[in-house]
């Protein structure tokens, strides 16, 4: 009798005959899915030559045709949506997701992203596309601690708190990897391991030292949680050195802690170029040759090398192995980890056996995912100040001002996909009130010389010569090569240059190299100095256009040529390419426009802050406040604050919405404006979420995942990694807005905190607290539980978040909220650098914010002392 197995999944129904599968003849045992993963891994490695083995240790693993092993590119991104692989649902940037304090939401977001990732991978495979960003091994989440607001990549993290970071990461990882008993849906990567958070400019040479207290209390807990609670299958080692050793060559980090102490069994991938930093003279330069570098990294436990350089493959590999510089045993260990991951993803198995192989492109940006993006955006918004102006009432005309009011890049953050239905604040307000009731102007540049209101140059300004006469549109030539060589495959007239191709314009392929050239005449309709944007190589009158812009005269003819090359290179593919030519007249008096708009309005909505074009990963930009992706101060750009001060003089109320991936010192705004909303980078539903908040269709519930300081003068040096004086746990100054802060349109009161008076050291603490919505509007409260160790323990944090929970309450409703504090959350690192639950009294508070006298007196916080009885209890580091 044949044995039939039915697997019912959330995606489709699969039936396959295991008897037939077992009897099927395979070329090699490793292709047989009825064998164990370990058996398959041993078999595939045993069949490779040494050179073939080595070729698999790079992020672009080449095909081994004689064994039927296809090529695979390990580098894929999914920080807040499937990234760099065309269109996908774009959720709020990671720092915004952290502001939700919502573990269940993170699980659902991770699940949506992995659905879209599988759908895209399936589509690409069926079109024989295996290039970068089309695979299933995602290099997310970034769980570094956002210790300093100057770090440009802090936007990618879940904030400054180890517990919040770890718990959100665990759920995101579970969503990415799925819960199938046999296969991973995708593989998540916890990065950057370890003790890594800027500066960007010096990350290839920095050598970081912190003591074990900071290491185990702050920098490692999220990685431990990702491994032990999230079962993360991949970890990325960082660029910097730690205690003299490159992180990708650190026995302490990779062997002692990661594998032996935390129990990690997956694979380690280097940050891109990190192994080259071992031998590069202007980087760490701790060895002289590529062979020494990769031999060291393999021996320490870095399994996969992300490199553009082919030096490792060309540096006398065979002799390096023979000399013991590179150890074949180390290669085999790394290969076993890498191929285990590929087998666990089902990459060698029949589609009908893999429950995720039939997920179709219909899930990408479907209504369910777009609605989830909106929910996440709404929950990420943090109301910092409100004198009663919000929600808006009886408002007919709005002056919408600011460089982020209609700036799509602000919505997205970095490491993003192309949004499905992006909605800016301008578009959302126009949809609600009508275009005539929203008076929009950017008001000013974001910073001097950086404008956000560029528009596509349209046909009214673009011409070509035809039979001696000017005709609208540009001559366009498309070539099926990357050099504009030979005869054009396509010649036509394009009215403007604004293209998003789902397939290449030459042969309608999912992936194709091509180039294009547009030529003709540009005639401005007004004089001014113009900045040009887009992704083209542009010349005017046969001269490259200066970065700072070019003066053009109204009605004058200018010879224009624009070129585009779409070709793959190390960190780019040719999937869903774009071509855009845009411009902005920078000599327009936007400030006067803003004052006129204010005069005609009932209220001013000012969308300011910064953008991922100013802060991010190792960028070339240097201007006031910004350097190479990092920030040199945390003030709001002066050009924006000056405009806000002028607008305030009009007497019209101002609602200020701040967009940023990091804390901004909004000192003047906090003192002078009636309402402030921190929006971070809220994803493609940004405008809709903000509009719903402004008009009271939702009740704000986001909480700050980072401290908002008043000045960088309150902070230690950026390169100082010691935690003293940083984050809410160790900062003894007065912040502008503290970690965990966020207002609501209603009020919440806490009563009847029930705690045992005494518990044994090493035991969990169970508490119950009553939370009442004492206002007139339903809303969600984020219950935050903190502990502190009074008095004698000078090395303990001021306070520590030990648990949090979102609770929805109708107006007037009371709920008893139960929370368990794990024993390990009560531990601190003592003078001997052991993690210990100390006997004695601790204070435990529950409320909507960090404990303070005013909160306790108002009923917004309750607290009690608990005695930890018995001997000191040492926990595992």
Q: Which residues contact 674 (CB under 8 A, 6 or more apart)?
A: 385, 386, 387, 388, 389, 653, 654, 655
Number of residues that make up the chain: 877
Which of 77, 206, 271, 406 is an active site residue? 271
In 3D space, the residue among 77, 155, 87, 207 whose CA is nearest the CA of residue 617 turns out to be 155
What is the spatial distance between Cα 139 and Cα 177, in angstroms, rounded to a whole number? Answer: 12
What is the spatial distance between Cα 744 and Cα 217, in angstroms, rounded to a whole number? Answer: 32
What is the spatial distance between Cα 755 and Cα 841, in angstroms, rounded to a whole number? Answer: 13
DSSP 108: H
Two tokens, residue 125: 């495979």
Which of 307, 511, 615, 780 is an active site residue? 615
Distances, alpha carbon 369 to alpha carbons 116, 366, 423, in Å: 9, 5, 15
Q: At what angle do helices 103-126 and 367-380 cross, to 10 degrees?
A: 140
Q: Which residues contact 311 (CB under 8 A, 6 or more apart)?
A: 276, 290
Two tokens, residue 460: 């009214």
What is the spatial distance between Cα 228 and Cα 242, in angstroms, rounded to a whole number? Answer: 23
| Burial tier of 265 (Cβ tally within 10 Å: 0-12, 13-18, 19+) | exposed
- Residue 548 falls in the annotated catalytic set: no
DSSP string, 559-573: EEEEEEEE--BTTB-
DSSP string, 599-655: HT-SEEEEEEE--TTTSSSS---EETTEETTEES--BPPHHHHHHHHHHHTTT--EE
Strand partners, 152: none
Peptide bond into 860 cis (omega under 30): no
CB atoms within 10 A of CB 8: 9
What is the spatial distance between Cα 75 and Cα 648, in angstroms, rounded to a whole number? Answer: 49
DSSP 187: B
- Residues noted as catalytic: 271, 615
């Amino acid at each position: 009798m044949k044995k039939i197995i039915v697997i019912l999944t959330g995606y489709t129904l699969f039936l396959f005959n295991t008897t037939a599968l077992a009897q099927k003849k395979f070329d090699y045992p490793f292709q047989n899915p009825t064998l164990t993963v370990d058996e398959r891994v041993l078999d595939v490695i045993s069949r490779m030559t040494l050179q073939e083995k080595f070729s698999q240790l790079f992020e672009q693993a080449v095909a081994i045709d004689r064994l039927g092993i296809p090529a695979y590119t390990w580098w894929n991104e999914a920080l807040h949506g499937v990234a760099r692989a065309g269109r996908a649902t774009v959720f709020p940037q990671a720092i915004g997701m952290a502001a939700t304090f919502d573990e269940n939401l993170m699980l659902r977001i991770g699940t949506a992203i992995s659905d879209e990732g599988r759908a895209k991978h399936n589509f690409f495979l069926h079109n024989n596309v295996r290039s970068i960003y089309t695979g299933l091994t995602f290099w997310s989440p970034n769980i570094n601690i956002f210790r300093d607001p100057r770090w440009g990549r802090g936007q990618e993290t879940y904030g400054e708190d180890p517990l919040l970071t770890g718990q959100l990461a665990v759920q995101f990882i579970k969503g990415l990897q799925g819960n199938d008993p046999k296969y991973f849906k995708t593989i998540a990567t916890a990065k950057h391991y370890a003790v890594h958070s800027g500066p960007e400019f010096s990350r290839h040479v920095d050598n970081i030292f912190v003591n074990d207290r900071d290491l185990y209390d702050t920098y490692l807990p999220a990685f431990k949680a990702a491994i032990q609670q999230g079962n993360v299958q991949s970890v990325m080692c960082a660029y910097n050195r730690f205690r003299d050793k490159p992180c990708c060559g650190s026995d302490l980090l990779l062997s002692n802690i990661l594998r032996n102490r935390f129990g990690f069994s997956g694979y380690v991938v280097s940050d891109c170029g990190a192994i080259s930093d071992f031998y590069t003279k202007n980087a760490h330069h701790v060895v002289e040759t590529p062979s020494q570098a990769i031999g060291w990294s393999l021996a320490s436990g870095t399994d996969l090398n992300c490199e553009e350089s082919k030096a490792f493959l060309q540096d006398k590999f065979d002799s390096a192995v023979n000399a013991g510089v590179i150890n074949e045993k180390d290669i085999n260990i790394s290969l076993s980890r890498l191929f285990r991951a590929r087998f666990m993803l089902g990459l060698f198995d029949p589609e009908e056996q893999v429950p995720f192989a039939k997920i179709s492109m219909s899930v990408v940006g479907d209504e369910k995912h777009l609605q989830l993006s909106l929910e996440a955006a709404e929950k990420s918004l943090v109301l910092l100040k409100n004198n009663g102006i919000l929600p808006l009432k009886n408002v007919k005309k709005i002056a919408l001002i600011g460089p982020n009011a209609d700036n799509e890049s602000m919505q997205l953050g970095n490491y993003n996909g192309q949004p499905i239905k992006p909605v800016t604040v301008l578009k959302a307000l126009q949809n609600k009130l009508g275009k005539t009731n929203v008076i929009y102007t950017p008001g000013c540049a974001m910073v001097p010389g950086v404008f956000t209101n560029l528009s596509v140059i349209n046909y009214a300004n673009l011409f070509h010569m035809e039979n001696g006469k000017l005709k609208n549109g540009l001559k366009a030539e498309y070539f099926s090569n990357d050099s504009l060589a030979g005869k054009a495959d396509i010649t036509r007239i394009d009215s403007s240059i604004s293209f998003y191709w789902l397939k290449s314009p030459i042969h309608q392929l999912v992936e194709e190299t091509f180039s294009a050239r547009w030529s003709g005449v540009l005639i401005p309709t007004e004089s001014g100095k113009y900045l040009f944007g887009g992704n083209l190589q542009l010349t005017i009158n046969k001269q490259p256009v200066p970065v700072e812009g070019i003066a053009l005269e109204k009605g004058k003819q200018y010879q224009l040529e624009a070129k585009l090359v779409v070709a793959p290179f190390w960190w780019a593919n040719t999937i869903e390419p774009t071509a855009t030519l845009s411009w902005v007249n920078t000599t327009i008096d936007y400030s006067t426009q803003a004052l006129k708009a204010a005069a005609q309005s009932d209220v001013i909505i000012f969308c300011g802050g910064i953008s991922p074009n100013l802060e991010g990963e190792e960028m070339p930009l240097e201007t006031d406040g910004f350097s190479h992706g990092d920030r040199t101060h945390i003030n709001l750009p002066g050009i924006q604050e000056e405009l806000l001060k002028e607008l305030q003089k009009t007497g019209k109320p101002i609602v200020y919405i701040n967009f940023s991936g990091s804390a901004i010192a909004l000192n003047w705004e906090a003192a002078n404006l009636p309402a402030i909303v921190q929006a971070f980078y809220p994803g493609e539903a940004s405008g809709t979420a903000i509009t719903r908040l402004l008009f009271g269709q939702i009740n704000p519930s986001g909480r700050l995942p980072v401290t908002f300081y008043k000045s960088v003068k309150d902070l230690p040096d950026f390169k100082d990694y010691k935690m003293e004086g940083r984050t809410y746990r160790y900062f003894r100054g007065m912040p502008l807005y503290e970690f965990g802060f966020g207002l609501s349109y209603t009020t919440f009161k806490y009563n009847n905190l029930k705690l045992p008076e005494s518990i044994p050291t090493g035991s969990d603490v169970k508490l119950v607290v009553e939370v009442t919505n004492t206002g007139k509007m339903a809303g969600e409260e984020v219950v935050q539980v903190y502990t502190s160790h009074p008095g004698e323990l000078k090395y303990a944090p001021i306070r520590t978040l030990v648990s949090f929970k979102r609770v929805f309450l109708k107006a007037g409703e009371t709920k008893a909220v139960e929370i368990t504090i794990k024993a390990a959350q009560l531990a601190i690192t003592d003078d001997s650098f052991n993690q210990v639950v100390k006997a004695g009294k601790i204070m435990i508070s529950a409320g909507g914010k960090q404990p303070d006298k005013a909160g306790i007196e108002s009923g917004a916080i309750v607290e009690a002392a608990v005695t930890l009885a018995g001997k000191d209890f040492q926990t595992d580091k």
